[in-house]
C-alpha cells in the first residue's frame, strides 16, 4: 500500500508559509506583493483557474488585479495592457491565462512580459535560467511536484527518474528540476520505444501525458514513487489522472492522487513565484 501524498495539505502548509512572509514583507516595504491576471475570452476552464488564482491571492494577503477581456480583443490592445502592467510598480507578477483565442499570438504576448514579472516562468529568459540552474522563478507545476517530493521526505539524489511527457510547461522543466536535484533522468514521449520497460526501471515516475489512466500497474516497479500530473475529465464527468490509480497504488511506495495531488500545488507555486518576484523587485 502506498503512502498518499496529500497535495491539499501540503499546499495549505506552503500557503501558510507564504502568508507569514507576506506579513513581514508588508511591514518592511509598506505594500503587498501584487499579481495581475489577464484572461481573454470566455473559456469556462480558464475562468475557473482565474477565479482560483484571485482567491489564492486573497488568502495569502496579496494585492491582485484581474482583467477579463472580451474575445474580440486585438493583439495591440493585449500588448498595450501587458506594457502597462510591466510599468506598474504595484504589480510584481503578470499572468496571461492560456490558451488565448486563435487570432492572438501567444508567443508574442509572453515575450512582452518582463522576465522579472513572468511568474509562470514561460519567458525564454527564465527557461534559460532554469536550464543553467540559476533560477528565481520556476514553472509552477513542476516546482509544485518538487515541493511535494521534498515535503514527503523523498530524496531525489541518485534516483532513476522517468518523466513521461516533454511539453514546455510540464515535462521538460520537470526533467530539468529533477536533474538539478541530482536525479538520473529519462524523458519519454509519444515516439519512445519500449516505454513500459523504461517506466519499470523508475524509482520516481512522473506522468504528464494527458491520457486518462495511461500508466498501468505492470509499468511500475515495486516501491516506486509515482507522481501523476494528468488532469483528464471522462465523459462521465469523473476527473482522473494519467495513472491507473487502483492498479498502481498497491505497488507504489508513494503516490499522488487525482484530484488532490499535484493540482492544488500549481496555484500555490504561482503565489510563491509572485512573492519571490516582489522580494527581488523591492531588494533592487
From the list 169, 203, 205, the residue with the least C-alpha distance to 187 is 205
CB neighbour burial string for 19-39, b if at least 16 within 10 angstroms, e if fewer = eebbeebeeeeeebbbbbbbb
Cα 148 to chain centroid, rounded: 12
Distance between CA 208 and CA 256 in Å, rounded? 13
* Cell digits of residue 100: 488565448
Cα-only R_g, the chain: 19
CB of 68 vs ligand NAP, minimal distance in Å: 21
Contact mark string toward ligand NAP, 229..248, x via CB under 6 A: xxxx----------------
Is 33 among the residues that bind ligand NAP (CB under 6 A)?
no
Is 189 among the residues that bind ligand NAP (CB under 6 A)?
yes
Tell me the catalytic residues.
53, 97, 120
Between residues 265 and 281, which has the closer beta carbon with respect to ligand NAP?
A: 265
Distance between CA 202 and CA 25 in Å, rounded? 41
CB of 281 vs ligand NAP, minimal distance in Å: 26
Between residues 188 and 204, which has the closer beta carbon with respect to ligand NAP?
A: 188
Between residues 123 and 172, which has the closer beta carbon with respect to ligand NAP?
A: 172
Report yes or no: 271 and 57 within 8 Å, Cβ to Cβ. Answer: yes
Whether omega for the bond prior to residue 99 falls within 30 degrees of 0, making it cis, is yes
CB of 228 vs ligand NAP, minimal distance in Å: 9
Between residues 77 and 201, which has the closer beta carbon with respect to ligand NAP?
A: 201
CB of 27 vs ligand NAP, minimal distance in Å: 32
Query: Which of the residues 139 through 178 are near ligand NAP (CB under 6 A)?
Result: 141, 164-167, 169-171
Query: Which residues lie near ligand NAP (CB under 6 A)?
Result: 141, 164-167, 169-171, 188-192, 195, 208-211, 229-232, 262-263, 266
Amino acid at each position: 500500500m502506498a503512502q498518499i501524498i496529500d497535495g491539499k495539505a501540503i499546499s495549505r502548509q506552503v500557503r501558510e508559509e507564504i502568508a507569514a512572509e507576506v506579513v513581514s514583507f508588508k511591514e518592511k516595504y509598506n505594500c503587498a506583493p501584487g499579481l495581475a491576471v489577464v484572461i481573454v475570452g470566455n473559456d469556462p476552464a480558464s475562468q475557473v483557474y482565474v477565479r482560483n488564482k484571485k482567491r489564492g491571492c486573497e488568502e495569502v494577503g496579496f494585492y491582485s488585479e484581474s482583467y477579463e477581456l472580451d474575445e474580440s480583443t486585438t493583439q495591440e490592445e493585449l500588448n498595450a495592457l501587458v506594457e502597462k502592467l510591466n510599468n506598474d510598480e504595484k504589480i510584481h507578477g503578470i499572468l496571461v491565462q492560456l490558451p488565448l483565442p486563435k487570432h492572438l499570438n501567444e508567443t508574442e504576448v509572453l515575450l512582452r512580459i518582463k522576465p522579472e514579472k513572468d511568474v509562470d516562468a514561460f519567458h525564454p529568459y527564465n527557461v534559460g535560467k532554469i536550464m543553467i540552474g540559476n533560477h528565481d522563478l520556476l514553472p509552477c507545476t513542476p516546482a509544485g511536484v518538487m515541493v511535494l517530493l521534498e515535503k514527503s521526505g523523498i530524496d531525489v539524489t541518485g534516483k532513476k527518474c522517468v518523466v513521461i511527457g516533454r511539453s514546455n510547461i510540464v515535462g521538460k522543466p520537470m526533467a530539468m528540476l529533477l536533474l538539478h536535484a541530482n536525479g538520473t533522468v529519462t524523458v519519454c514521449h509519444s515516439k519512445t520505444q519500449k516505454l513500459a520497460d523504461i517506466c519499470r526501471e523508475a524509482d520516481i515516475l512522473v506522468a504528464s501525458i494527458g491520457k486518462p489512466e495511461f500508466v498501468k500497474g505492470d509499468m511500475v516497479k515495486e516501491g516506486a514513487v509515482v507522481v501523476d500530473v494528468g488532469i483528464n475529465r471522462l465523459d462521465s464527468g469523473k476527473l482522473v489522472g494519467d495513472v491507473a490509480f487502483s492498479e498502481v497504488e498497491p505497488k507504489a511506495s508513494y503516490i499522488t492522487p487525482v484530484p488532490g495531488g499535484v493540482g492544488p500545488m500549481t496555484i500555490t507555486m504561482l503565489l510563491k513565484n509572485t512573492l519571490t518576484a516582489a522580494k527581488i523587485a523591492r531588494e533592487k
